[in-house]
Amino acid sequence: MTHDPASIKGRIGVVPQENNLDRELSAFENLLVYGLLHRVAGLQEKISEVFAVVELEGSRERVVQDFSGGMKRRLLLARALLTDPEVLFLDEPTIGLDPQIRRQFWDVIRKIGLDGRTVVMTTHYIEEAEVLCDMVGIMSKGRMVALDSVPHLKKLVGEYVVDAINDEGRLEQHMCRDRREADTIASGIQGRLTIRRSSLEDVFVKLTGARI
């Protein structure tokens, strides 16, 4: 373990939740300034490389204030990748993006993860964590209440869930170990119900006692 802050900072990249790009500069100029400040070797080539990763090659000369929200998020990601970090921290990377743009951003994150880089992401979108993450930590009231792979976390609630609407119109959820148990519970319920596989959101609700 190193105790040299400068060495540690040189090995990590951060995509903040808030957009702190220079709106009056072009995408290329934003990366150029950042790269010069961090003394990135082969800067011109590196800028072209990260533009390709985030699929912004055709917008490098556009002024950032004309970018869409999704393009700004991708440029923030490109900036973080410019120093070739070993660990990349993403703070709510898709907040405020519509579902289609969010899924496009997911593709970029997957691409980054495939090159062996460690990506640490915070998100309130449970579906996002389920789709992208190998390991998921669930936080509640400032405490880590669970940390495991998605399949192992799902085993905490069971493989299936029975959703039923009671006489008062409220949703009741029954967590079941397997389909046989789900069918047994469903056979004793009158009214509307569905049987489905459990999700990471079910795990979150079960462990924190609160809905998203």
pTM listed for this prediction:
0.82
Please, what is the Cα angle at 10 between 7 and 16, to 5 degrees?
Answer: 130
Share of the chain above pLDDT 70, in %: 98
Is residue 212 very low, low, confident or very high in pLDDT (cuts 50, 70, 90)?
very low
Is residue 194 very low, low, confident or very high in pLDDT (cuts 50, 70, 90)?
very high
Give all domains of the chain, ordered by start, each with its CATH number.
Answer: 5-133 (3.40.50.300), 152-208 (no CATH)
Query: Tokens standing for 110?
Result: 């997957």
Residues recorded for the chain: 212
72 touches 64 (CB < 8 A): yes
DSSP characters for 18-52? S--S-TTSBHHHHHHHHHHHTT-TTHHHHHHHHHH
Query: Tokens standing for 99?
Result: 């579902």
Q: Report the run of H or E that residue 104 belongs to, with start and end.
A: helix 99-113
Phi, psi (5° rounding) for residue 200? -65, -30
Write out pLDDT tens, residues 131-171.
999 999 999 989 999 999 999 999 888 899 999 987 777 78
Nearest to 30 by CA among 56, 1, 2: 56
In the sheet where 160-165 sits, what is the strand order?
171-176, 160-165, 193-197
Section 80-94 average pLDDT: 93
